[in-house]
Amino acid sequence: MQIDTTIVGAGVIGLAVAARLSERRQPLFVVERNASFGQETSSRNSEVIHAGIYYPAGSLKARLCVRGREALYQRLEEARIPHRRCGKLLVATEAAEADQLDSIRQRAADNGVDDLERLSGAGVRALEPQVRAVEALLSPSTGILDSHRLMRHLLSRARRKGCELVYRTKVERIRPRDGGGFDVLVRYPDGAQDCFFSRHVVNCAGLAADQVAASAGIDIDAHGYRLHLWKGAYFNCQAPSGYLKRLVYPVPPPHTVGLGIHATIDLIGRIRFGPDATYLPDGVLDYAVNSDDRDRFFHAAARYLPSLQADWLQPEMAGIRPKLQQPGDAVRDFVISEESGKGLPGLVNCIGIESPGLTSCLAIAEYVADLLE
């Protein structure tokens, strides 16, 4: 069988790429090792539509987040997928943090996010009576969505155009052929193997994207493609109904890897705190949430929510970030690369697609389609 394009992985990125490429490229296959789509990082995140505030100017994260956010809002409207532009408060709880709000606002403006509003402590209380802050930034374009409904929409859009999804099938190797294209070796759960030819391959394998790239013969250490896994745990919060209407984030603590333990709400108003950031040195996919961490989450959140009660917090779930940096390294950007330069024309790698990958998914799909053109 000869396929035009094979996409490895049916997370939100693979599905967005499939929906986009299905408009032009057939036959198109998505190969997924799990029994269904979106069973890994795409269903273990905060479901926040990020504005694009924190990322270095000019980075793919900044550009694709800002472009992807508006494309996403438009798509969510058109397809009637549940979402809300609820807004987010970025709160300084002491004067030293308030000084950082200016530089955060400047960085956001450099990224084209120019709708941030500075609020006094009283302004914050008027919007969110439970939140204590000396000052804050309000981001009106931050929102929340139902990510599972988004993935279902992308999947059915791709399928309508003839894209085939193959579950319970692991891509083991991508072997370039002389004269172009790739032999894709797959393994089924019963251990049987198969091989097919695909002219192009898009690697959207999330936590295993570095291994898939390595299977094509790329030296992932020499090219800076090796992934480092960072767990992000969440605690849910049984606060009284209407306790918060917006997302509340602290000013990111210095040298932190995440954004600091923040409060998110979902579409029915449930609150949760997290994610924190724990390096998983041995690369094991550890999704356990330790109830002993409750005090740490409580104290972090109580800085901006003084009425919070520790016994409202319960361990919920964890997601794992596929980062390109290990402890002590500088922040890395997404890698989205067409690999002609490495002698692999027609292979596009998407590696290190951590946050804001969900927000950026439609823009990433567009970017991948342009690289393949």
Ligand X SMILES: Cc1cc2nc3c(=O)[nH]c(=O)nc-3n(C[C@H](O)[C@H](O)[C@H](O)COP(=O)(O)OP(=O)(O)OC[C@H]3O[C@@H](n4cnc5c(N)ncnc54)[C@H](O)[C@@H]3O)c2cc1C
- Footprint of ligand X (CB under 6 A): 8-14, 31-34, 38-42, 44-48, 50, 170-171, 204-208, 212, 232, 275, 319-321, 353-359
Quick one: which of 371, 364, 327 has its CA closest to 346?
A: 371
| Angstrom distance (rounded) from CA 362 to CA 82 | 17
Comparing CB distances to ligand X, the nearer of 134 and 185 is: 185
Comparing CB distances to ligand X, the nearer of 98 and 205 is: 205
Query: What six digits make up the tokens of 184?
Result: 């894709």
Tell me the closest approach of the beta carbon of residue 94 to ligand X, in angstroms.
Answer: 26
Query: What six digits make up the tokens of 18?
Result: 């499939």
Query: Quick one: residue 64, left, alpha or beta (phi over 0 = left, psi -120 to 50 = alpha)?
Result: alpha
Query: What six digits make up the tokens of 97?
Result: 């943090």
Largest CA distance in the chain: 67
Tell me the closest approach of the beta carbon of residue 307 to ligand X, in angstroms.
Answer: 25
Tell me the closest approach of the beta carbon of residue 356 to ligand X, in angstroms.
Answer: 4
For residue 253, whether the previous peptide bond is cis, meaning omega lies within 30 degrees of 0, is no
Comparing CB distances to ligand X, the nearer of 47 and 135 is: 47
Tell me the closest approach of the beta carbon of residue 56 to ligand X, in angstroms.
Answer: 17
Query: What six digits make up the tokens of 287?
Result: 């999704």
Tell me the closest approach of the beta carbon of residue 151 to ligand X, in angstroms.
Answer: 9
Comparing CB distances to ligand X, the nearer of 21 and 98 is: 21
DSSP E strands in the chain: the ranges are: 2-8, 28-31, 48-49, 83-84, 88-92, 117-120, 135-139, 143-145, 164-166, 170-176, 182-187, 193-203, 228-237, 247-250, 262-265, 271-274, 278-279, 313-323, 335-338, 347-351
Tell me the closest approach of the beta carbon of residue 186 to ligand X, in angstroms.
Answer: 7
Comparing CB distances to ligand X, the nearer of 13 and 372 is: 13
Q: Which residue has the tokens 């692999």?
A: 344
Comparing CB distances to ligand X, the nearer of 98 and 365 is: 365
